[in-house]
């Protein structure tokens, strides 16, 4: 949420923006920034625990950070994504696990596409579709809901080999986030 504040200084109306991030899971969508991470490490001299956490973040995500362009996102302010992750690692682990479950569910349904389409077409309600997907495809509730929420064009467009690569990336991210969680307070 972006909150606009106004004040008058020396007869001039000034507008400032204050960014309040309520759903931190959305930060996964931002590109990490090595320059900001290095700056956060430099600023954290007084807090040795935060400094160790940030150093570990830099080590774990160095490859990802090197690939991205240095962008200044107004939502992240003057800090790296890892600064905002600190103190909320349990949420990040849960989010990464949920993403992995959803990707695996999409791979499962891709292998059994005809059954999935029949279930979605013949189900009378969303709840019934989710239950049938869980029963027939052996998905858990998170994965079944994710598959049921997708448009037919998305479901039929899944390429198993590409999906496997995507799952590998999510597994790597999950392992990195879990390791980073051990450095969180």
Write a three-state SS string for 41-88. HHHHHHCHHHHHHHHHHHHHCHHHHHHCCCCCCCCCCCCCHHHHHCCC
Same domain, yes or no, for 171 and 101? yes
pLDDT at 147: 93
CB-CB contact of 21 with 79 (8 Å): no
CB-CB contact of 78 with 71 (8 Å): no
pLDDT at 164: 95
Same domain, yes or no, for 134 and 152? yes
* pTM, two decimal places: 0.76
The torsion angles phi and psi of 57, rounded to 5 degrees, stand at -60, -45
- Please state the separation of Cα 166 from the chain's center in Å: 13
Domain for residue 127, yes or no?
yes
Domain for residue 157, yes or no?
yes
- Tell me which H or E stretch contains 178: helix 160-181
pLDDT tens digits, the chain, 185 residues: what are they?
A: 456 667 777 877 777 665 566 666 667 666 666 778 888 888 887 888 888 899 888 888 877 766 666 555 556 667 888 888 888 888 889 999 999 999 999 999 999 999 999 999 999 999 999 999 999 999 999 999 999 999 888 898 999 999 999 999 999 989 999 999 998 86
Same domain, yes or no, for 96 and 169? yes
Domain for residue 183, yes or no?
no
Map residue 103 onto helix, strand or coil.
Answer: helix
CATH of the domain at 160: 1.10.268.10
Same domain, yes or no, for 153 and 111? yes
Domain for residue 130, yes or no?
yes
pLDDT at 135: 95
Longest dimension (CA), the chain: 69
Q: How many whole angstroms separate alpha carbon 30 and alpha carbon 39?
A: 17
**How many Cβ atoms from other residues are within 10 Å of residue 82's Cβ?**
25
- Tell me which H or E stretch contains 16: strand 12-19
Q: How many whole angstroms separate alpha carbon 148 and alpha carbon 165?
A: 22
Choose the final residue of a domain: 35, 61, 86: 86
Domain for residue 3, yes or no?
no
Same domain, yes or no, for 80 and 108? no
pLDDT at 25: 65
Choose the final residue of a domain: 54, 69, 86: 86
Choose the final residue of a domain: 45, 66, 86: 86
Written as six digits, the tokens of 102 are 């959803």
Which residue range(s) make up the domain with 73?
24-86
pLDDT at 60: 86
Domain for residue 14, yes or no?
no
pLDDT at 178: 93
Same domain, yes or no, for 82 and 95? no
Same domain, yes or no, for 96 and 170? yes
Domain for residue 182, yes or no?
no
Same domain, yes or no, for 124 and 62? no
Same domain, yes or no, for 154 and 109? yes
Domain for residue 138, yes or no?
yes
Same domain, yes or no, for 35 and 82? yes
Q: How many whole angstroms separate alpha carbon 98 and alpha carbon 118?
A: 25
First to last CA, the chain: 26
């Amino acid at each position: 949420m972006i909150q606009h504040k106004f004040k008058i200084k020396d007869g001039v109306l000034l507008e400032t923006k204050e960014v309040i991030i309520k759903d931190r899971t959305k930060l996964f969508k931002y590109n990490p920034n090595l320059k900001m991470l290095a700056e956060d490490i430099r600023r954290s001299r007084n807090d040795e625990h935060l400094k160790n956490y940030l150093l570990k973040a830099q080590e774990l995500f160095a490859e990802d950070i090197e690939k991205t362009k240095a962008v200044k996102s107004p939502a992240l302010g003057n800090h790296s994504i890892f600064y905002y992750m600190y103190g909320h690692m349990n949420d990040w682990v849960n989010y990464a696990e949920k993403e992995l479950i959803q990707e695996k569910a999409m791979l499962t349904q891709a292998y059994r596409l005809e059954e999935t389409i029949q279930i979605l077409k013949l189900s009378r309600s969303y709840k019934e579709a989710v239950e049938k997907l869980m029963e027939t495809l052996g998905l858990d509730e998170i994965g079944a809901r994710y598959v049921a929420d997708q448009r037919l064009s998305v479901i039929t467009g899944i390429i198993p080999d590409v999906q496997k690569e995507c799952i590998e990336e999510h597994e790597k991210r999950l392992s990195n986030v879990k390791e980073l969680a051990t450095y969180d307070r």
